[in-house]
Amino acid sequence: MTCVELERQIAKLAMAMMTRNSQIGKDLISHLKAQLTTEAVAGIIIISIERVLWFDPNSILWTVNHLLPTDIYQEIQNTFLVHFYKQLINKGFVPGKDFSIDAKSQLLLNPQAKSAMFSNLIENNLKTT
């Protein structure tokens, strides 16, 4: 897939999310799943979600509740868990002691790790605004 094709697919998904058209969204996702890996499709959806977030945050909730197939949702969740896991390790926290992941793939944090993650999110948000 070329950069132009990728950009078109992201734009199409973003439009489906903002119009809340489940049929178009599901067809687009099915088309992508036939061409790409689950990980790649999840990446495209993450980028689409990021774009929609700026214009219509409520559409993100709709997308998660009505559009995402289970395998894609799980892949997106895993992507974010790995990202947070790496961030915590880089900050010196110890897996199994300061943080862990439960059977439902929920990130469990002790108070220090939670404080570090939220302060990091706030710092990053202030840098981008």
Q: Answer yes or no: is pLDDT of 6 > 60.
A: yes
Give the residues across from 101 on adjacent strands.
Answer: 107
**Residue 129's pLDDT band (cuts 50, 70, 90):** very low
Instruction: Please give the model's pTM, rounded to 2 decimal places.
Output: 0.74
Query: Among candidates 51, 50, 9, 49, which has minimal Cα distance to 31?
Result: 9
How do residues 15-74 score in pLDDT, each as one tens digit? 999 999 999 999 999 999 999 999 999 999 999 999 998 888 899 999 999 999 999 999
CA dist 26 and 72 (Å) reads 12
Percent of the chain's residues with pLDDT above 90: 50
